[in-house]
Amino acid sequence: MQKQLQPSVAPASPRVLAIGLDAPNHDLLVQWIGQGHLANLQALQQRSSQLIIESRKRYSNEHCWIPMLTGQSRDRWNHWLDHWNTETYAFSEASIFDWIKAPLFYALGDQCRVISFDLTAPVVANVSGIQVSGWATELNECYPLSSPPEVLDTLLSRYGPDPKLTDSHAITNRLSNHRGITFAIPSLYQQDQIEHLVESQIRSIERRTQACLDLMAEEPWDLFLTLYSEIHTAGHILWHLSQPHPLDTLRPDDADPMLRVYQAMDRSVGELLAAVDDSVTVVFYTVDAMVPDCLENARAVFLPEFLYRWNFPGKAALAEGDPSVAPPSPSHDYRQHWKHEVWRLRTRTGDRELQSPAELEAREDPMSWCPASWYGPLWPRMKAFAMPSVADGYIRLNVVGRESAGIVEDADFVAVCSDLAAEISRLVNPRTGKGVVREIIRVRDSAFDLDPKDPPADLIVVFREDCPLDVVDSPLAGRIGPVPYFRTGSHQAHGGVLQNLMYIRSVDIMPGHQSGVARLEDIPATLLALLGQVPAADFDGVARL
């Protein structure tokens, strides 16, 4: 009798659910998982292969999403895509939605059906599936988009907008001309505003999770990517209510608002895990890191005001103090957005000479929040000035023949840089008596060395990160401050090593710690390997399975 053949069954295509966590504090996350505060992540950890990821930043604003989205090392990228117009003295900040130039690792065409929900990523071509960007991103410069375009409208009608956008206004990026949205960070000093922020972040997590669950159920996918950016926002704004900080006296009794946001994320991760069976490989990863902030006031207030006083001896524009007396106890009487409270500290001279944040906001300037921008009308009259920055302090010299109204001769460029660096290095925190500057980097030896890989700044001021800062003294410029704190959590130190983690839960991979240390660019390489896809030839990352 002839043996009856059974019909062959094609093996199911591999499917991967990748859940990202944006900028947690690594040690705190590991601690809370180990203590059982994040029960779903603890359970996932126990069933997963575990890997530590390390990366080093040359500058504190190098973006961790470059290697994560492209699989390419940051070393081969031009990180300085902010633009300086030497004719008009206009500074324009590049947005991550515009400056990633390499293909995204999941732009795989018809080889893979992808759903990318609200990563810190642009919407790009050659992705078969759905992309949503800018729905509830952490970024203050947000440009909501989707592909197909109607998906975003459907999501907004079903789940509503990002809850933290109750206090928001329009912005326009000068480089791309894209119109977007920015939100106002609440006052750190007001419990009602902070509680509103905590609740909005928890609602954001819940809405994000429900949108993901619906997309997972309604749409076909091989790779599902999502990101909890609320952890990033919580770290910036709630650090002082969870961890040691000069403002930790404002913490509610027996409460940890930042932990509440982490636990809302953990519950949601549990819901996503419950929605897939064991045939789906789960990858949980973290990108970037949060630490106590010691930089915001230094780069955004103290540096530009010091340079104003250095240029115009005997004058002060903001936060004039008396260095002959001990600094007053920090005030807690700040109800408005930080930029408005700092603007209230302007002198009569500053009121005449600076452009107000309201003027910049009316022009939809994304940097209206940054006091360095307020000095913009004065830059043509200054020998050197602070450029707006979200990282280290940036100083540009006003050079004859380079800038349209140049003052500093090229022959004097190095000498002025050296003199200025010496004075800035003398800035002191009068509360501790310690200097506030760790290092000053001269970017170029000649004003006309215009390597596009270099920043537009001529000097980069790297501030110490051992103490939050609300006031500084200078032998030359006097006292600046005290000023309120803007954010109490910030990003990893200049030159520091970031630690992140990756868990891989798969029936084919043994749980436990992997040996060695991975890199951020290894995350996309690993995801592609799990999907059975071959990375592009220019990938720097390798699969860690």
What per-residue confidence (pLDDT) applies to 494?
Answer: 58
Specify which residues 285 forms β-bridges with. 20, 502
CA atoms within 13 A on the CB side of 502: 29
Task: Mention every residue, 6+ apart, whose C-beta is less than 8 A from residue 119.
Answer: 20, 65, 69, 133, 225, 226, 227
- What does the block give as tokens for 355? 């452009």
Confidence (pTM):
0.93
What per-residue confidence (pLDDT) applies to 3?
Answer: 38
CA pair distance 114, 531, nearest whole angstrom = 11
Q: Beta strand 109-119 with 127-133: parallel, antiparallel or unpaired?
A: parallel
CA pair distance 351, 347, nearest whole angstrom = 6
What per-residue confidence (pLDDT) applies to 174?
Answer: 81
Residue 220's alpha-carbon distances to 20, 117, 119, 154, 507, in angstroms, are: 20, 14, 19, 17, 22
Q: What is the mean pLDDT of each run of 10 residues along the chain (545 residues)?
A: 40 88 95 98 97 80 82 73 88 74 90 95 94 86 90 94 82 82 88 93 96 96 97 95 93 91 98 97 95 91 98 98 95 91 98 96 92 97 94 94 98 98 98 95 93 88 91 98 94 74 95 91 97 92 94
- What does the block give as tokens for 468? 């939050």
What per-residue confidence (pLDDT) applies to 179?
Answer: 86
CB contact at 8 A, 460 and 421:
no
CB contact at 8 A, 129 and 139:
no
CA pair distance 71, 541, nearest whole angstrom = 5
Q: Beta strand 49-56 with 290-292: parallel, antiparallel or unpaired?
A: unpaired
What per-residue confidence (pLDDT) applies to 317?
Answer: 98
Look-up: residue for tokens 């002025």? 416
What per-residue confidence (pLDDT) applies to 431?
Answer: 96
Specify which residues 489 forms β-bridges with. 292
Q: For residue 148, say if its preceding peptide bond is cis, omega within 30 degrees of 0.
A: yes
Task: Mention every residue, 6+ apart, whose C-beta is less than 8 A from residue 112.
Answer: 106, 128, 222, 223, 531, 533
Look-up: residue for tokens 């540096």? 303
What per-residue confidence (pLDDT) applies to 9?
Answer: 40
